[in-house]
Chain A
Amino acid sequence: MAEPARTFRAKPDRPAPAQTVGAVGWMRRNLFSSPANTALTLIGAYFAYWVIATVVDWALLDAVWQAETRRECLDAVGRSGACWPGVFVWFENLIYGLYPKDQIWRVNAGFALLVAWLVPLWLERVRSKVAIGVSAVLAYPVLASYFFLGGDKGFLWSASIAAALTAFVWVWATAIAERRTGRTLGELVLARADALDADPRHHRRLLFYTAAAGWLVAYALVALWYLPYVTTNDWGGLFLTLVISGIGITFSLPAGVVLALGRRSELPVIRLICTVFIELFRSVPLITILFMFTTMLPLFLPVGVEVDQLVRAIVAVCLFASAYMAEVVRGGLQAIPRGQYEAAAAMGLGYWQATRLIVMPQALKIMIPTIVSTFIGFFKDTTLVSIIGLFDLLNMARAIGEDTDWLGLFIEPFFVVTLIYFAFCFAMSQYSLNLERRLDTGQRS
């Protein structure tokens, strides 16, 4: 009789020793693995506690939340606690500058419009993303500048605004159409007109008429629409910072790509022009360029011709930013192996096709971290416009400490401004990380 087969039965797993799992285990492994490590941990923890406790004490526990003047704060807590009422009173100015208070909705509407314009880019099943992106870059500024500036508009101005409005309606119409039916708005229009099979010239004419009809309706609406004029002198705060850096950033990327390609071009004249431009603007500090544009430019203009100061500052920032961006892009282009160009050529692609389809997509992907840190740099560089008298976020914060009621209050406003800058820069860098992860096709680890 054979013995019953003895099968192996594993005993139930014992739990791992308590010291090696969970929070305790993690801490033993990472924080207290050796005496030196333990000491560092304790010092670090004490330091962190000290910093946080000091800030919390100052900003929250000892802070004054209600007062009419800084004197009241000082009488209440001296300098040991923050005096927030001054920042509250000025908060609207920190965000909008000296923009008339009853018109502030226009700034909000302008930025809401931007978000609305860009939302389709993040929606799935929307195909015309490139066209939507291009329309946002070209048409949105027109519409936004009327929102922000207002005032009388001549025919040309009204016509551009109407075109921009039409573009906005098109963006959402086409986004909805593509999500619902998977066809572009153009195809739907043609289908409705039973003209899908007609020849392409007919197509184009039909679409043109549709667009023109839309434009006419928009023009009629725009003609009825009037917003009071707000001089750029009153723009300020975060709003102004975003306008300057937003335009600078948006302009710099395409301009930088063109300049970088130009600098690598085999045509000597183009290469020379691009190289001179890049080197000129890159070797001069931004503050000098700003200064030249704002104070020297008027000297070369005929008497009576006045270019808005904000426009001058924006142009200066754009030129400076594109020179920097050009070098970033060139760095990315150089990282593409020669074989890629050769492979593209071997497939019969011409220069533009190879650049657009093979080189740029790879190069831009490599460059994301550098591009974004350059963007963050531009965003912070805009504080320099305060020297030419524009009340950007930083300059506005400085003004609080010079208000007679709040004289000397400057740590609190700067604290708030720091938080605002941090929020924006951190959001940008997180977005870039996210973008990198999504575009990572596995070439790098």
Chain B
Amino acid sequence: MRRQTLLFSAAAFAALGLAAEAGAQETLAQVKERGHLNCQVGLPTPGFYALADDGTWSGIDVDMCRAVSAAVFDDPDRIEYQSVTSAVRFTSLANGESDMLSRTTTWTAVRDTQLGMTFAGVNFYDGQGFMVPKDLGVTSVNELDGATVCVLTGTTTELNLADYFRANDLAFEPVTNENVNVIVETYLGGGCDAYTNDKSGLAARRSAFPNPDDHVILPETISKEPLGPVVREGDENWSDIVRWVLLGMIEAEEVGLTSANLDDMMESENPKVRRILGVEGNIGEGLGLPNDFMVDVLRSVGNYGEVYERNIGADTPIGLERAGTLNAQWTEGGILYAMPFR
């Protein structure tokens, strides 16, 4: 697997020079002409890009694509989903196969600067944590010296794990696999002392354990994982569209605009609301979209809070409480802070 990853990366780098020319400045026109958005997600993952048995996709990252589709087409479902492994995600974007990538991708300097990618924003702040069986009696990651740790290969998770343990002078032995279900099964079968992944993933997996209460998620968060949609570098117009659709959804939540009260709010006197809805100003025009593009987004997909609660919120099987976390609005103690929509 390691050698293949290297090969993939080599190919990806080779691809970049060519891709930069190919994608410049015309994604919106291409998408419109094609009649649908090519949205890249990962292999099905609950809450973020989940595939149901009737073939429909849902999740917080899927809703990002649906919002862009709604903004461009006035229809959230003109999307062809491409579900590819993480090894080929950037190549598949670079070669023009996908118009955007929305699949729990961590925003890092190397990816942003050297892979020909542009990160359009952050739609979920995650961080890596550890889960251990309760009867191990461990309360902190620093007590895990010499532990065997289950971890997914080929992700930043594996690197973070090594970094953290080395920085804290702890020994560990990784147990790796590329299939998350195999990892979880290994952990449940006692094949490793701890299981590490993004905390959202840990919570989701624990909810499906035979006895969820027998396992604890340790308090430490050992990495920053700002996850967000990614587009090809070189098409500023397209990255602006994705960025401002996302920021518009966050701003809409901040000013209290929801899919339910949309029609009443059309009459609102609040200039912030009026600008989001395109009643005032010409933000859409600057993006090459109708001025009321956010109306379509909010009507069919909803604001950020609605998307969050519907897909990963406390009432879903994933059950991620939002209040008090990084993903709350800045007005409520989180760091979700939309640039002014004006």
Contact = CB atoms under 8 A, between A and B. Distances in A.
Interface stretch (A155-163, A293-301, A319-327): A293-301
Interface string A276-293: 000000000101100110
A93 B55 contact: yes
A115 to B, nearest CB: 27
Contacts of B15: 295-296, 299
Nearest to B34: A306
A89 interface: yes
A407 B317 contact: yes
A408 B53 contact: no
Interface string A302-341: 0110000100000000000000000000000000000000
B51 A304 contact: no
Contacts of B317: 404-405, 407
A78 B210 CA distance: 6
A90 B92 CA distance: 28
B160 interface: no
Nearest to A285: B4
A316 to B, nearest CB: 14
Nearest to B15: A299
Contacts of B92: 295, 389
A287 B53 contact: no
B44 A291 contact: no
B55 A408 contact: no
A402 B184 CA distance: 12
A404 B54 CA distance: 13
Contacts of A233: 80-82
B338 interface: no
Contacts of A204: none
Contacts of B209: 74, 408
Interface stretch (B200-208, B217-225, B273-281): B200-208
Q: In the complex, which of the residues A295, A300, A403, A404 has the most CB atoms of chain B within 10 Å of its own CB atom?
A: A404
Given A291-B7, A389-B82, A402-B44, A408 B184 contact: yes
B96 interface: yes
A296 B11 contact: yes
B51 A399 contact: yes
B44 A407 contact: no
B24 to A, nearest CB: 10
Nearest to A233: B80
A398 B96 CA distance: 27
Interface string A197-210: 00000000000000
Nearest to B189: A79
Contacts of B188: 79
A391 interface: yes
B264 to A, nearest CB: 33
Given A233-B81, A295-B15, A387-B85, A407 B95 contact: no
Contact of A90 (B53, B82, B185): B53
Interface in B13-52: 14-15, 18-19, 22, 26, 30, 33, 43-47, 50-52
Contacts of B80: 231, 233
A281 to B, nearest CB: 16
Interface in B58-108: 80-85, 87-88, 91-92, 95-97
Contacts, number: 125
Contacts of B140: none
A398 B179 CA distance: 9
A403 B43 contact: no
B181 interface: yes
A404 B53 CA distance: 10
Interface string B192-235: 00000000000011011110000000000000000000000000
Nearest to A86: B53
B11 A292 contact: yes
Contact of B43 (A74, A303, A399, A410): A399
B84 A389 contact: yes
B4 A288 contact: yes
A395 interface: yes
Contact of A391 (B12, B83, B97): B83
B165 interface: no
Nearest to B45: A402
Contacts of B46: 402-404, 407
B8 interface: yes
A74 B7 CA distance: 41
A153 B313 CA distance: 46
A157 to B, nearest CB: 20
Nearest to B85: A387
Nearest to B44: A402
Contacts of A395: 43
Contacts of B18: 299-300
B208 A70 contact: yes
Nearest to A74: B210
Interface of B: 4, 7-8, 11-12, 14-15, 18-19, 22, 26, 30, 33, 43-47, 50-55, 80-85, 87-88, 91-92, 95-97, 179-182, 184-185, 188, 204-205, 207-210, 316-318
26 contacts: A71-B208, A74-B209, A74-B210, A92-B53, A101-B54, A233-B82, A288-B4, A288-B7, A294-B88, A295-B88, A295-B92, A296-B11, A298-B96, A299-B95, A304-B33, A387-B85, A389-B83, A398-B43, A401-B181, A402-B46, A402-B180, A404-B317, A408-B181, A410-B179, A410-B182, A410-B185
Interface of A: 70-71, 74, 78-79, 89-90, 92-93, 98, 100-101, 231, 233-234, 285, 287-288, 291-292, 294-296, 298-300, 303-304, 309, 386-389, 391, 395, 398-399, 401-405, 407-408, 410-411
Given A292-B11, A404-B318, 10 more contacts: A74-B210, A294-B97, A295-B12, A295-B15, A295-B92, A295-B97, A303-B26, A398-B181, A403-B46, A404-B52
